[in-house]
Amino acid sequence: MINNLDKNTKKDYTKSSTMEEIQTKKKEVSAMQYKVELLTGIRPTGDLTVANYLGAVSPIVELQAQGVSPVVFVADLHAITDSEMTTVKQYIHGVVADYIALGLDPQKTKIYLQSDIAGEVNTFTTLLARLISVAELLRVPTLKDKLKNNARPETANALLLLYPVLMAADILLNRAKMIAVGEDQLAHMEVTRLLARRFNKRYGELFPIPQVLQVNALRILSLKGEGKMSKTNPRGAIFLTDDAKTVSNKIKATETAIEGVMNKKLESHVLITKELAKTESERDEVDAIIMAHKTGKPVMGHFKQIMTRIICNFIEEFQAKRAEITRDPLYIQSVLEEGSKIAKENAIETLEEVKKVM
Ligand code: ATP
Ligand code: MG
């Protein structure tokens, strides 16, 4: 049955898909008996940022509403690449609570902890690492970017090099059809697809070639403009845990665009503001200000006020929901236990197949 997965379809799954295509794909998924229809991961490296919400959580919530059953995993093994284990541990439950508060429903979306299936993940990472060269891994743009901006080859540990292989192991163990990632993860997805193809070519068609689901091709920039917004680069990030005063100060401190000039940073600020706006009239308000800015009017002070108001309203609502969810201290643990049980079954099954053919 598994060997026929890819033979049954010659469709190219390497292209990004749109929201409209998802329902058709859902049918294909069940017909071909993939184990997981849609998979996504989150590193417990810090509190979530608005970029994590817009790039990663919001699309999943939308798909969940359309009847898709996503699986989300908390990537604690990925997180120890550049965070201490104690720090990672401290964020695991928080990240799950964040996802639920942002709209994920554990009845529909299973959530598991990556290290709950560490045995399977690590074994498979080792096996997959044999299929890719050091030179190829060194060429991965994300690694080059990290080594340029956040880490140095002399001090970064070797997990950074293996990061995309570990990610491939997660995806392929789950036999996932679609992977929801932000723009920053596209290069890693190329590695996963490459490894799936190489595995299939060498050992027989076992893995469907996973497809990127980039619902919003969003790349939210750091408020400071140095690369993308990341939770491990707090100076340029707006966190969902920030209070109104902090948000306001961070936005005030952003570089003010010169009248008439649209730059990448301002575009990113407009994007955040419009995406988090609750009403059409708020979005119209933003459009009107940007129009005025483009014609050379000094309206950036006003824009920053609106940006602050919209973001603070969103965060306030989120924080109220999160407080409700975390009232029962055992709830998050029970969500993770249920998710991990299913993930473990899938992983064991896949790994048995892998070992058989290898
Ligand atoms: P870290 O600094 O630990 O890497 P991060 O903010 O990059 O933190 P991740 O846990 O790596 O967050 O990624 C979680 C999800 O958020 C991924 O799907 C990722 O693509 C998405 N994401 C992260 N940053 C951005 C961004 N700036 N714009 C859009 N999506 C993003
Ligand atoms: Mg990241």
DSSP secondary structure of 45-76: SSS-BHHHIIIIIHHHHHHHHTT--EEEEE-H
Q: Which ligand 1 atom sits nearest the alpha carbon of residue 182?
A: 20
Q: How far is CA 195 from CA 131, 142, 200, in A?
A: 7, 17, 8
How many angstroms is it from 116 CA to the middle of ligand 1?
A: 22
Q: Using an 8 Å Cβ cutoff, are 179 and 210 in contact?
A: yes
**What crossing angle do the helices spanning 264-276 and 280-294 adopt, rounded to 10°?**
160
Please tell me if the CB atom of residue 185 comes closer than 6 angstroms to any atom of ligand 1: yes
**What is the model's pLDDT at position 217?**
63
Distance 14 CA to ligand 2 centre (A): 22
CA of 226 to the centre of ligand 1 (A): 15
The answer to whether 163 and 188 have CB atoms below 8 angstroms apart is yes
* Cα 145 to middle of ligand 1, angstroms: 14
> Which atom of ligand 1 is the closest one to the Cα of 231?
6
Nearest ligand to residue 238 Cα = 1
Among the atoms of ligand 1, which is closest to the Cα of residue 82?
Answer: 3
CA 267, CA 269: separation in Å to the nearest integer? Answer: 5
Domains and CATH numbers, the chain: 32-219+329-357 (3.40.50.620), 242-325 (no CATH)
Please report which ligand is nearest the Cα atom of 45.
1
- Spatial distance between the Cα atoms of 288 and 282, rounded to a whole number of angstroms: 10
- CB-CB contact of 257 with 266 (8 Å): yes
Residue 4 has a pLDDT of: 31
**Long-range Cβ contact pairs of 330-336 (< 8 A, separation 24 or more):** 332/93, 332/96, 332/97, 332/100, 333/93, 335/96, 335/100, 335/106, 335/111, 336/74, 336/92, 336/93, 336/96, 336/111, 336/112, 336/113, 336/116
Query: Tell me, what's the pLDDT at 1?
Result: 27
**Helix ranges, the chain (H):** 22-32, 50-52, 58-65, 76-79, 85-101, 118-129, 134-138, 141-149, 159-173, 186-203, 244-252, 264-276, 280-294, 300-325, 331-357
Dihedral angle sign, alpha carbons of residues 143, 144, 145, 146: positive
Residue nearest to atom 13 of ligand 1 (CA): 42
Residue 145 Cβ contacting ligand 1 at under 6 Å: no
Ligand 2 centroid – CA 285 distance (Å): 32
CA–CA separation, 14 and 11 (whole Å): 9
pLDDT of residue 18: 52
> Which one-letter DSSP state was computed for residue 118?
H
Q: How far is CA 68 from CA 29, 55, 74, 185, 209, in A?
A: 11, 18, 19, 22, 19
**Is the CB of residue 56 below 6 angstroms from any atom belonging to ligand 1?**
yes
Residue nearest to atom 6 of ligand 1 (CA): 230
Which residue carries 């409209």 as its tokens? 20
**Which atom belonging to ligand 1 lies closest to the Cα atom of 40?**
18
Q: Of the ligands numbered here, which is closest to the C-alpha atom of 48?
A: 1
Whether 43 is in the pocket of ligand 1, judged by its Cβ within 6 Å, is: yes
Distance of CA 121 to the CA centre of its chain: 19
With a 6 A CB cut-off, is 102 part of the ligand 1 pocket? no
For residue 75, the ligand 1 atom closest to its alpha carbon is 10
Which pLDDT does position 269 carry in this prediction?
96
Among the bound ligands, the one closest to the CA of 150: 1
Regarding the beta carbon of 42 and ligand 1, being less than 6 Å apart is answered yes
In this predicted structure, what is the pLDDT of residue 215? 63
**What is the atom index within ligand 1 of the atom nearest the CA of 180?**
18
Check: CB of residue 334 under 8 Å from CB of residue 110.
no
Low-confidence ranges of the chain (pLDDT < 50): 1-16, 22, 24-32
- The verdict on the CB of residue 52 being under 6 Å from ligand 1 is yes
- Please give the C-alpha separations between residue 34 and each of 175, 212, 252, in angstroms, as whole numbers: 6, 15, 48
The residues that bridge with 213 in the sheet, in sequence order, are: 180
Give, using CA atoms, the residue closest to atom 23 of ligand 1.
52
**What is the torsion angle, in degrees rounded to the nearest 10, for the CA atoms of residue 194, residue 198, residue 199 and residue 203?**
160
Find the ligand nearest to 189 CA: 1
Rounded to the nearest 10 degrees, the angle between the axes of helix 300-325 and helix 85-101 is 100
Q: Is 231 in the pocket of ligand 1 (CB under 6 A)?
A: yes
Helix (H, G, I), strand (E, B) or coil at 44: coil
The DSSP 8-state label assigned to residue 256 in this structure reads: P
